[in-house]
Structure 1
Amino acid sequence: MFGLYLALQPHGIHTDVLITASNKGVLLALVAAAQTLPVLTGGIDLSVGAIVVLSNCVASVLVSGSGLQIGFGVLAVLGSGLVAGLFNALAVVVGRLQPIIATLATSTMFYGVSLLVRPNPGGNVDDDFASAMTGAVFGVPVSMLVLATVLVLLWMPFRRSLTGRGVYAVGSAEASAYMSGVKVVRSKLAAYVGSGLLASLAGLLLTLIAESAQASAIQAGDLTLNSIAAVVIGGTSLFGGVGGIVGSILGAFILRTIGDLLFVLSASPLWQPLFQGLILLVAVSFGALPMLRTRNRLETYR
């Protein structure tokens, strides 16, 4: 799909085209990665978009000034995501609320905080830092390097750790995991806190791309819905226990490429939601095939 987009692109294969496509794709890929962790536990996080917007607003205030101030601002942005993720984890694990209800409520709270931080659109982001993080190094988009770093330094060690395997076990069968000695509470806490961290990283990238921020409920909702679509397209089961971040990243790039293809084909923007919905429906249908082919659904989990 991306090859077709490049072939139809009037400017051809150009560094600026690759950078723009990478920045947009990595932004959604990080949000999809954030959504994947709670989904693997059998839950869902409807607040990932709101955390992105919150981090976007915080970054627009703090990521400027000297190098030390920029470093502090970046840490503050990531810290806001960790706190938001921890808040979701406490609501789900300690409060024992249904994830869909808990995160729906917290998303409204995070949006309210975003309005307090950034009541009006705007921001003051360091231009040099933004250009460096959204540009390219030796022709390779920096955003792709950031995404690769997340995979190598965060996802791969986490997936191989006891906590990471516990996340899969909880999503497969929580009661059985508990009886087998899996730290269910720790696994769920790690999933939601990790989700908040990745969402805040997406919010930071959004700020560096736009060099401004806006507390937009519409943007938060779109990011959340697209993250769920990317997760499903990437092969992660909404029932938990199956899938991973790599597939969600590919799903995110598929969604972004659809929009780019429709743009170069001069199609009406009204077609994009239709195509995304059809692709999501096909992806869900393929995921349900093993269930439809078996007479006894328990055979699927053997």
Structure 2
Amino acid sequence: MPPETSSLTLPRGSRLGHTIAQNIGLILAGSILLLAILGFVLIYALEQHRLPGNFELTSTVNSAMPLVFAAVGQSFVVLTKGIDLSVGGVVDLANAMAAVTMGKTLGSALLWSVVILFVGAACGLLNGLLVGLGRLQPIVVTLGTLSIFQGLAIRVLPQPGGAIPPSFTDLLVNPNAPYALIFIVLLGLGWAAFRRSRPGVDLYAIGNDEAASRTLGVNVLRTKIIAYMLDGLLAAAAGLFLAASATAGDATTGDSYTLTSIVAVVLGGVSLFGGRGSAIGAIAGALITTLIVDILFFGHVDPLFQSFYEGVFLLIAVVAGGVIGGAIRRRR
């Protein structure tokens, strides 16, 4: 029999090329993030005549936290070759619930946070059952549930208001230092553990070829339900971070996270065709998206045109990633 082909038996150069090809999306996301950081530092230094300090770093990290969680949740679904348009609705619902239930103490806030996370997971469970059990198109299902979740959020909090305990805000998005980076590290470690678990392996299998994975014994329904429940759970966490940042609630502020979570996923190198990418890349994509907004702000770009420039940057990044990734794979 011919020897088994693996990265362990390939020459060192071939192994390096194989590793690069397999992780090209994550590598490009890291490169774009580095460029975005350098761009922000340059624009800020030119405008303020000094380098960014602790305040700027803390503000940027805290602003990015809701999108980081929403993007990681979205990546679970996208890896199955699906998409979740209801993310913004879950963020709205979690935000509204937090504002009217948390009370004034940290203990009460933490208790209700657990309840809100369960509600987010339940929203994801609904999406997963409709997509997996009903064999319905994810884009249609989640567009419908988006309206349901947004309606529930407005029912919970008809007008902006409510209150978030200061101790809860300090815990999640402390304004004195970028302690929120701890949550990003924990999120990354959680993803690393999930990626090596059976559901994580099945997630990639379904995204690459659902029919073949079903033939090989993968429980497609269970895996899709897990993906959508994790998506809903993390979207609810995004709503909690958003509420903590604003110290109050608004049943409409989460709407934008539907689109921006998809943008962050794409910038992070997660393929919309499923089966390729990493939630680590989605985290990088969320940070990139936040930095782009900061760069445009300090560059005195008219807010009316910010969406235009964000879209242009996204298209450039996607096209460049596709061209570079395709060139590398052809050379393997």
TM-score by length of 2: 0.83
Shift of 1:78: 0.7
Query: Partner of 2:179 in structure 1?
Result: 142
Cross-structure match for 2:147: 108
Please, which moves more after superposition, 198-207 or 178-187? 178-187
Name the residue aligned to 2:310. 276
CA 1:108–1:151: 2 relative to 1, 3 Å: same
Contact map agreement 2:103 2:164 (CA 8 A) in 1: yes
Which residue pairs with 2:192 in the alignment?
156
Select which of 205, 208, 218 maps to 1:172. 208
Task: Tell me what 2:245 maps to.
Answer: 209
Determine whether 1:43 maps to 2:77: no
Match of 2:40 in 1: 5
Kindly tell me: are residues 81 and 239 of structure 1, through their superposed partners in 2, closer, same or farther at Cα, counting changes over 3 Å? same
Inter-partner Cα distance in structure 1 for 2:180 and 2:165: 17
Does the CA contact (< 8 Å) of 1:163 and 1:183 recur in 2? no
Following TM superposition, by how much is the alpha carbon of 1:190 offset from its aligned partner in structure 2, in angstroms? 0.9
Match of 1:142, SS?
A: coil
Structure 1 residue 7, shift from structure 2 partner: 4.2
Preserved contact between residue 258 and residue 272 of structure 1 (Cα < 8 Å):
no
Aligned 8 A contact 2:117 2:236 in 1: yes
Check if 1:199 corresponds to 2:221. no
Post-superposition shift, 1:175?
0.3
Alignment of 1:63-142 (within 5 A): 63-135=102-174, 139=177, 141-142=178-179
Q: Give 2:289's aligned amino acid.
A: L
Give the Cα–Cα distance (whole angstroms) in 1 for the partners of residues 77 and 260 of structure 2. Answer: 15
- CA, structure 1 residues 209+290, in 2 after alignment: closer, same or farther (shift >3 Å)? closer
SS in 2 for 1:41: coil
**Could you tell me whether the CA contact under 8 Å between 2:106 and 2:168 is conserved in 1?**
no
Give the whole-Å Cα distance in 2 for the aligned partners of 1:252 and 1:47. Answer: 18
What do residues 18-58 of structure 1 show as CA deviations (whole Å, max 9, x unaligned)? Answer: 11100112221111111101000000000011111110011
Whether the 8 Å contact between 1:134 and 1:208 is mirrored in structure 2 is yes
From the superposition, tell whether residues 57 and 251 of structure 1 become closer, same or farther in structure 2 (CA, over 3 Å): same
**Aligned equivalents of 1:204 and 1:157: distance in 2?**
24
When structure 1 is superposed on structure 2, of 193-202 and 21-30 the one drifting more is 21-30
Per-residue CA deviations over 1:197-217 (Å, capped at 9, x if unaligned) read 11111100000000111111x
Report the CA distance shift for 1:128/1:291 in structure 2 as closer, same or farther (over 3 A).
closer
Report the more deviating stretch, 8-17 or 275-284. Answer: 8-17
* TM-score, normalised with respect to structure 1: 0.90
In the alignment, the residues of structure 1 paired with residue 88 and residue 103 of structure 2 have an alpha-carbon distance, to the nearest angstrom, of 24
The aligned amino acid for 1:227 is S
Tell me how far 1:136 sits from its aligned partner.
6.0
The runs of 4+ residues in structure 1 deviating greater than 4 Å are 290-294
- State how far apart, in whole Å, the 1-side matches of 2:60 and 2:326 are: 37
Please give the per-residue CA displacement for 1:148-177, whole angstroms capped at 9, x wherever unaligned.
11221x211111001011000000000000
Given the alignment of the two structures, is residue 27 of structure 1 paired with residue 91 of structure 2, yes or no?
no
Q: How many residues align?
A: 292
Find the aligned partners of 1:73 and 1:293 in 2 and give their Cα distance: 50
C-alpha offsets along residues 127-160 of structure 1, whole Å, 9 cap, x if unaligned?
12212321168x4x122111211221x2111110
2:224 corresponds to 1:188: yes
Q: Does 1:245 align with 2:282?
A: no
Q: State the 1:287 CA deviation.
A: 4.4
Question: After alignment, is 3-12 or 72-81 more displaced?
Answer: 3-12
State the one-letter code of the partner of 2:318.
V
Q: Is the CA contact (8 Å cut-off) linking 2:80 and 2:224 kept in structure 1?
A: yes
Letter in 2 for 1:179: T
Contact residue 106 and residue 167 of structure 2 kept, 8 A: no
Q: Which moved more, 1:123-132 or 1:259-268?
A: 123-132
Secondary structure of the 2:81 match is coil
3-state SS, counterpart of residue 247 of structure 1: helix
